[in-house]
Amino acid sequence: MKKVLGIGLVAVSLLITGNAFGQSFVETIEDAGLAALYGNECVVALQSGEEITGKFAGGVYVNNGLAKIKVKLENGENAKFVPEQVASLKVKVSGLMKLSMISDAGSSMKEFANADLNSIVEREWVLFETATTPRQKETKRILQLLNPGFDDKIKVFAEPNAKTGGLSLGGFQVTGGEDRVYLFVKGGEKAFKVKKGSYRDNFQELYSDCPQMLEQFQGEKIRWDDVALHIYAYNELCK
Q: What pLDDT does 89 receive? A: 97
Q: What pLDDT does 176 receive? A: 43
- Structural domains in the chain (count): 1
- In this structure, is residue 99 part of a structural domain? yes
- In this structure, is residue 31 part of a structural domain? yes
How many angstroms separate the CA atoms of 170 and 226, rounded? 28
What is the mean pLDDT for each group of 10 consecutive residues in the chain (239 residues)?
A: 42 46 68 84 97 96 88 96 97 67 44 43 80 84 92 90 47 54 91 93 93 85 89 85
Q: What SS3 string covers 84-135?
A: HHEEEEEEECCHHHHHHHHHCCCCHHHHHHCCCHHHHCCCCEEEEEEEECCC
DSSP labels, 199-214: HHHHHHHHTTT-HHHH
- In this structure, is residue 197 part of a structural domain? yes
pTM value is 0.79
Q: What pLDDT does 82 receive? A: 97
- In this structure, is residue 70 part of a structural domain? no
Q: Which domain holds residue 159?
A: 2-38+86-237
Q: What pLDDT does 75 receive? A: 95
- In this structure, is residue 115 part of a structural domain? yes
